[in-house]
Amino acid sequence: MAKLNITDVELSNKKVLMRVDFNVPLDKQQNITDDTRIKETLSSIKYLLDKKCSLVLCAHLGRPKGKPVPEMSLKPCAAHLAKLTGVKVQMAPDCIGAETKKMADALNPGEILLLENLRFHPEEEKNDPNFAKELSSMAEVFVQDAFGTVHRAHASTEGVTKYLPAYAGFLLKKEIDYLGKAVENPDKPFVAILGGAKISGKIDVISNLLNKVDTLIVGGAMTYTFLKAQGLSIGNSLVEDDRLDMAKEVLAKAKEKKITFLLPIDHLIADKVEAGAKSEIVMENIPAGMIGVDIGPKTIALFTEAIKRAKTIVWNGPMGVFEINDFAKGTIAIANALAEATATGATTIIGGGDSVAAVAKAGVTSKISHISTGGGASLEFLEGKVLPGIAALKDK
């Protein structure tokens, strides 16, 4: 169901409670080391300020576990947002309470108030109705722009929508548009590439995508569970022995649905998962004592060919232990292949922190159609699940 966004309704002069993703990394001196998340929500913030809204922003930072933790204060984000927007950003002492409410009430059109870390209160993650009500008492409408949180039913994602009309901000709209089209109505051929450590974390995505894709590509450590399930030797590679049956079922389902299921055909193997380890390329079987750490050159060529033919490509999870440069070639090659596919008209979508980091490492971030801002949320979207923070928004 399509959701109303901030351009679908008249918001001029309204007091807006907006959920943003300011969960940024901080160093020991409380400096923001990567402000991508703050920058990504600027278009919604600027749009609402232009509409003379007064903005009450709410967010979480880190995992304070329901109590105030000074190092997890959102104060550095207030200062940084002021710098980015040129607008003064007031910092509330808390996210609820009399003093905070007074600040919200006194807010004028075009002004910004940032509430303190929502997760300083256990009621946020418990989706406590009284807490949600208190939050919503600070505004007339709610705008959701924190995609990374919408897979959780928390007070600031779902609870507040019981008390305020709720709309999608631009960042959330972009996520829904790209991911929604991919799972509902993708331009074909549709290729999904899944990698990373474990089948167990991605089995629901694999199951859902088997009903949608033309080609499913598997790389990363997940490979070895599939290879072992097919009777190949995998040496000391990472494997989930309790998922062998699951892997067999996936292979059988892919066959039944006549989906092209591509697994690596050669491997970079190493004697240790360390920089400088002894390594070589092998086909098919991995000798005893050796560990598969990346896809090999023939696999890169095979996967790249499939990517070239695709019109929609979704990628989640690295092809190898890409954090170690010696083992990053396969993952970087896939990132480059996606960038080239985008240039020739394909829609490319990347989700998950590791793949996003890999694309940055390859220097092709700007050449991808859509980089999802929520790892967990994008996976649940691809699993076909209802995301409570999206479901709660007003329907078009």
The residues carrying an active-site annotation are 37, 198, 353, 376
Q: Which is nearer to ligand AMP, 221 or 306 (CB)?
A: 221
- For every residue of 276-297, DSSP letters joined together read T--EEEEESPBPTT-EEEEE-H
Q: Which is nearer to ligand AMP, 186 or 220 (CB)?
A: 220
Q: Which is nearer to ligand AMP, 85 or 207 (CB)?
A: 207
- Determine contact, residues 363/339, Cβ cutoff 8 Å: no
- List 198, 308, 367, 385, residue binding ligand AMP (CB under 6 A): 198
Identify which range of 24-32, 122-130, 197-205, 240-248 contacts ligand AMP by CB under 6 A.
Answer: 197-205
| Side chain identity at residue 196, one-letter code | G
> Using the rule CB under 6 A, is 196 a contact of ligand AMP?
yes
Whole-angstrom CA distances from 252 to 226, 248, 375 are 11, 6, 28
| Side chain identity at residue 322, one-letter code | F
Query: Per the structure block, which two tokens stand in for 370?
Result: 């859509």
CB of 220 to ligand AMP, least distance (A): 4
Q: Which is nearer to ligand AMP, 172 or 358 (CB)?
A: 358
Bridge-based pairing state of the strands 291-295 and 266-270: antiparallel
Identify which range of 31-39, 111-119, 255-263, 320-328 contacts ligand AMP by CB under 6 A.
Answer: 320-328
Identify which range of 55-63, 70-78, 190-198, 256-264 contacts ligand AMP by CB under 6 A.
Answer: 190-198
- List 318, 351, 374, 388, residue binding ligand AMP (CB under 6 A): 318
Number of chain positions touching ligand AMP (CB under 6 A):
16
- Determine contact, residues 95/55, Cβ cutoff 8 Å: no
CB of 361 to ligand AMP, least distance (A): 12
- List 352, 374, 388, 389, residue binding ligand AMP (CB under 6 A): 352
Print the binding letters for residues 223-252 with ligand AMP: x by CB under 6 A, - otherwise.
---------------x--------------
Q: Which is nearer to ligand AMP, 11 or 338 (CB)?
A: 338
330 CB contacts (<8 Å, ≥6 apart)?
219, 268, 294, 295, 296, 299, 300, 319, 320, 322
- For every residue of 334-384, DSSP letters joined together read HHHHHHHHHHTT-EEEEESHHHHHHHHHHT-GGGSSEE-S-HHHHHHHHTT
- List 153, 197, 210, 244, residue binding ligand AMP (CB under 6 A): 197
- List 321, 359, 382, 392, residue binding ligand AMP (CB under 6 A): 321
Print the binding letters for residues 271-290 with ligand AMP: x by CB under 6 A, - otherwise.
--------------------
> Using the rule CB under 6 A, is 374 a contact of ligand AMP?
no
Residue 191 per-residue DSSP state: E
Q: Which ranges of the chain does DSSP label H, i.e. alpha helix?
A: 36-40, 42-50, 75-85, 98-105, 122-126, 129-136, 170-184, 203-210, 222-229, 244-256, 297-309, 329-343, 353-362, 375-382, 388-391
> Using the rule CB under 6 A, is 64 a contact of ligand AMP?
no
CB of 319 to ligand AMP, least distance (A): 7
- Determine contact, residues 210/247, Cβ cutoff 8 Å: no
Coil, strand or helix: which one is 180?
Answer: helix
Query: Per the structure block, which two tokens stand in for 266?
Result: 């050669």
| Residue 188: how many other CB atoms lie within 10 Å | 12
Identify which range of 4-12, 225-233, 319-327, 376-384 contacts ligand AMP by CB under 6 A.
Answer: 319-327
> Using the rule CB under 6 A, is 323 a contact of ligand AMP?
yes
- List 64, 148, 159, 220, residue binding ligand AMP (CB under 6 A): 220
- List 169, 186, 317, 351, residue binding ligand AMP (CB under 6 A): 317
| Beta-bridge partner residues of 55 | 16, 112
> Using the rule CB under 6 A, is 320 a contact of ligand AMP?
yes
> Using the rule CB under 6 A, is 376 a contact of ligand AMP?
no
How far is Cα 19 from Cα 150, in angstroms, rounded to an integer? Answer: 10
> Using the rule CB under 6 A, is 351 a contact of ligand AMP?
no
Burial environment of residue 343 by CB neighbours within 10 A (0 to 12, 13 to 18, 19 or more): exposed
Q: Which is nearer to ligand AMP, 148 or 318 (CB)?
A: 318
Sheet containing strand 15-19, strands side by side: 89-91, 112-114, 54-58, 15-19, 141-144, 166-168
How far is Cα 238 from Cα 59, in angstroms, rounded to an integer? Answer: 37
> What is the contact surface with ligand AMP in residues (CB under 6 A)?
196-198, 201, 220-221, 238, 292-293, 317-318, 320-321, 323, 352, 354
